[in-house]
Structure formats: structure tokens, C-alpha cells
Amino acid sequence: MSARATATSPAGARGKQPTRAKPETGMRPSPRASILLIAVFLSAVFAVAPMRAYLHQRAELSDLERQTQLLQQQNTDLERRIADLNDPGTLERLARECLGLVRPGEIAFVPIPKGRAPTPPDCG
């Protein structure tokens, strides 16, 4: 009998128990790995809400900063306008152009263009 025939033949291995191969059930994680996997999963689940809130607040903060810059620019423009309206020369010009006021002894003339209505002055 050949060596190959004896090694594979059940008759050749008398007295020895034939070893059975364990069926492959796939990769099965150890209990430690399972606990770690569950802990990581729970951490990820509980981190979603705070992360979403953080991103929402960051976007809201960006919008508020933009709005603050816009309001600061408007305040600067209004302060400039207040300073301009406190100037005596500007007040006189507005009184003459917008209100039609004249100094005592002066005569007011309003030019009327031919064929169309007069344009009102810019009093804004």
C-alpha cells in the first residue's frame, strides 16, 4: 500500500480517532471586541445630537456676526449723517432747497423747465 493511500484511508488509521474539522462560522468577535463595538456605537449615537447642535449654533453665530457688521455699518452711516445735519452750511442748503426758505430781503425763484414738471430737490 502506498503512503498516500494509507494516510487518507480510514482503515490505515486504526486505533486513532479521526479528527473532524470545525465548520467555519465566519469571524466571530470576542466578548471584549463586542463590548468595545457596542461602546463605540453608543458613543457615536449619543454624539450625533450635540454635533448637530454645535454645527447649527456655528452657522447661527456666523449669521449673527454678518448681521452685526451690517448694523455697525448702518450706525456709522447714520452718525455721519447726524454730523452732516449738524453743520450750519448743510442746514441752510436743505432749508433753501427743500423748504423753499429765503433770507429776509431775498427773492425766491423756482425755475420751471419747458414742457415738463419741475423736479423736486433731493431732500433725503
> What tens digit of pLDDT does each residue of 21-78 get?
566 666 787 889 889 999 999 888 888 889 999 999 999 999 999 999 999 999 999 9
In this model, does residue 4 exceed pLDDT 90? no
Q: Which residues contact 7 (CB under 8 A, 6 or more apart)?
A: 13
**What pLDDT is stored for residue 81 in this prediction?**
94
- pLDDT, residue 76, reads 98
Asked if residue 101 lies in contact with residue 95, where contact means CB atoms within 8 angstroms, the answer is yes
Check: CB of residue 85 under 8 Å from CB of residue 91: yes
Predicted pLDDT of residue 60? 97
At 112 the pLDDT is 81
Domain residue extents for the chain: 31-99
- Maximal C-alpha separation, the chain: 145
DSSP string, 49-76: HHHHHHHHHHHHHHHHHHHHHHHHHHHH
* Mean pLDDT along residues 115-120: 80
pLDDT given for residue 63 in this prediction: 97
**pLDDT higher than threshold 60 for residue 90:** yes
Residue from 90, 101, 75, 74 nearest 124 by CA: 90
Residue 100 is predicted with a pLDDT of: 85
